Amino acid sequence: MAPRHLVIFGGGISGLTTAFYCAKSLPKSTRITLVEKSHRLGGWIRSLPIANSNVALEAGPRTFRAMSAPYSLTRLIEDLNLQDHIIATPLGSPAGHMRYVYLENEQEPGMPGELALVPPTPLHLPLSPHFRWMIRPFLAEFWKQPNTPKDYDDESIDSIISRRFSPEIARQLVSAVIHGIYAADSRELSVKSALPILTHAEREGEGHILAGMWPALVKRKQMLMAKREQEGDSGKGKTTQLDKILANSATFSFSGGMEMVPRTLEARLNEMGNVDLLTGNGVASVEKENGDFKIKLEDDSVLNASHVISTLPLPSLYNIVSSSSAYKTTPLPQLLSNPHTSVQVLNLVFPPSPTPIHPPGFGFLVPRPRNDYPSTAIAEPRPTHRNMAPILGESVLATGQTPPLLQNVLGTAFDSAIDATHDHKTQPTIMTMMLGGPFPLFQPSNASSTSTSTESSTSSQQLSPSDLEMVLRTLGFYLGAEQPLPQPTFHVLHTHRNCIPTYKPGSSRILYEMKRTVREGAWGPRFKIIGGGAGHGVGLADNITLARSVALRRDDD
């Protein structure tokens, strides 16, 4: 039986996509209400167009991956008619295949290290002066005895890479990649939840990851094709113009920024007569009554729903449901099983310059420090060195002390480079620094207070001149700049608190048990939990795939 009234908690990309496909697939008689606590829709996706640039500033996610774009993502783009607005990064362009990892200076600690170009595949290791040493552990993995733990359930990504390859590969390379995706410590992140292909490959290879990788990838592709057929599209014999664009691209965004997707979804939903978008009014509580749901909003108004889909972060959902009678009958402690990391995004816009400010490529990531994560975001001043003169300038060098530098950098994206037509001589150069995650957050000198809430939130601010100067010194340090970086024409720091879930080892089993408990307990199958740390990945494409799948599924009572 079709829902009479479906209420969706959360107006991020998951909530909007769910509402869109539910409105398209359900009868027009079904009323759909989306409830969002903030006054805007789109969640973490927020774009700011910049004059004389095809690339917008992004406070949240900056691009989609093109080569691995799932069918649900390409279908959404086509359903929203956004194909003509795509800005694609060609595979052959520097940003399409050049990515760096920052390597510490182990001979002179405290001095600038080096940006090392990451080989695109293990076959390219012999060509890399920085990563050639990895050839031996990669080859040795073929002959290394299987060492999967007995009664194996799950482990961290750092653990499986250290176990099958080497601890240094896990630290220098893999921890940096995890910083860029999850903003998390790879020693704390579940391999089954975050990189399940590794466990599948080890199983297919009877204990050897490299030997089992190809069969694992083949099985994964077959599974994805089967899911496409279930959704009514086999993908056979169909190649759209969008498919052709993405086949030759590494990443892509949109001419209006990533926010073009949620803004277009919002516009389409507003055109649908059976959809209501409620913003600035969050969910306060939910009770189960006579098989339906009584939802009280923060302004004390009440919605009566036959079905509920929550796309909220799990801790936020816990705060809503934990006082309900259904929770007392069917408690869900799993909602608090995984922590969420906080990330700061610092957008920097530099004026046109005769020479490039950064090397060619997509950007760089910073691995876990050899001596582990620091306890403070800012490094203490220390005696300076003549080799620091290009970065600091002679006047600073004369003081004998290196001024404070940030030591909580996860990485930096060269945003302008995603547009292959970008010209640094006539157009601004845009870069985005990512801070925090397993590192401490940066507390600007002009910040009013530090939040300790477990709720997800975001705030934006300008930096003081002294803080901005420290940021530029830090960025120059990582880039190995030959002179101090120019003053940006614009900058803004976004602080996203509790924005990315860290799936702990064992999470997949715990979250599966949570969904079974919801389905079979007092909540029932009409109450669904998706996204928001429910174990389906953290990328936008993951959220879109799950939202579309749930919206088109026909397994509700």
User: What does the block give as tokens for 283?
Assistant: 């969910």
pLDDT, residue 173, reads 95
Q: Which portions of the chain are predicted below pLDDT 70?
A: 1, 110, 230-239, 381-401, 448-454, 535, 554-557
User: What does the block give as tokens for 84?
Assistant: 């003509």
The CA distance from 95 to 253, in Å, is 13
pLDDT, residue 451, reads 60
Nearest to 507 by CA among 181, 184, 193, 153: 193
pLDDT, residue 557, reads 46
The reported pTM is 0.92
Q: Side chain identity at 242, as an amino acid letter?
A: L
Question: For every residue of 109-140, which 3-state class applies, written as one string?
Answer: CCCCCEEEECCCCHHHHHHCCCCHHHHHHHHH
The CA distance from 64 to 72, in Å, is 13
For 336, which DSSP code? G
Q: Are 321 and 529 in contact (CB under 8 A)?
A: no
The CA distance from 128 to 50, in Å, is 37
Maximum Cα–Cα distance for the chain, whole Å? 77
CATH numbers and ranges of domains, the chain: 5-45+259-338+503-552 (3.50.50.60), 339-501 (no CATH)
pLDDT tens, residue by residue, 67-113: 777 888 999 999 999 999 999 999 989 999 999 999 988 777 767 78
Tell me the HSE value of 191 on the side-chain side, using a 13 A CA sphere.
23
pLDDT, residue 419, reads 87
413: β partners: 363, 432
